[in-house]
Amino acid sequence: MRYFLDCEFDGYRGDLISLALVADDGNELYLAWPKNDCIPWVAENVVPIIECAGAAPHIHRPGGWGGMIETFLRGDPMVRIISDWPDDIRYFCECLITGPGEMIATAPVISFQIVRCDAYPTDLPGAVQHNALWDARALRHKLT
């Protein structure tokens, strides 16, 4: 199954703040760990909308996100992650690693695809740009 991925993070190579996966079948996973000391642009444009209409994240430290991702993807033998930016895939992969030489149980096949497109403007009702869940929904909407 395809899963549309978006992440928000604290500037270039900064800490992961939120991650969302939206599946072809409409199932969603939205994780967030808001920071108080972000770079100004993130503090103004991302942090205030982490929780907004239609987007209520599971608030949890990123170090525990691997197990939540494992549960969300469980049972899918062929996971295809689609994103519009390479950092999103990097942050997602970092969440899969649980320790030195250890990772969550995953599907036998996980593939990644970067689709260079802009999901905004969108006609998706209620969309909130720079919210990871809404951005993943907008990407799914654009590509399906």
Beta strand ranges found along the chain (DSSP E): 2-9, 16-23, 28-32, 58-59, 78-83, 97-99, 102-103, 109-114
CATH class of 2-143: alpha beta
pLDDT band for 97, please (50, 70, 90 cuts).
Answer: very high
pTM: predicted TM-score of the whole model, two decimal places: 0.96
pLDDT band for 129, please (50, 70, 90 cuts).
Answer: very high
pLDDT at 92: 98
pLDDT in tens, 35-54: 889 999 999 999 999 999 99
pLDDT at 10: 97
Q: What is the DSSP letter of 84?
A: S
pLDDT at 63: 82
Alpha helices in the chain (DSSP H): 40-45, 65-73, 86-96, 132-143
pLDDT at 62: 82
pLDDT in tens, 5-29: 999 999 999 999 999 999 999 999 9
pLDDT value at 104 more than 90: yes
**φ, ψ for residue 137, nearest 5 deg:** -65, -45
3-class DSSP state of 50: coil
pLDDT at 47: 97
pLDDT at 131: 98
Name the token pair of 111. 């593939």
pLDDT at 61: 85
CA atoms of 31 and 73, how far apart (whole Å) = 14
Give the mean pLDDT of 78-89: 97
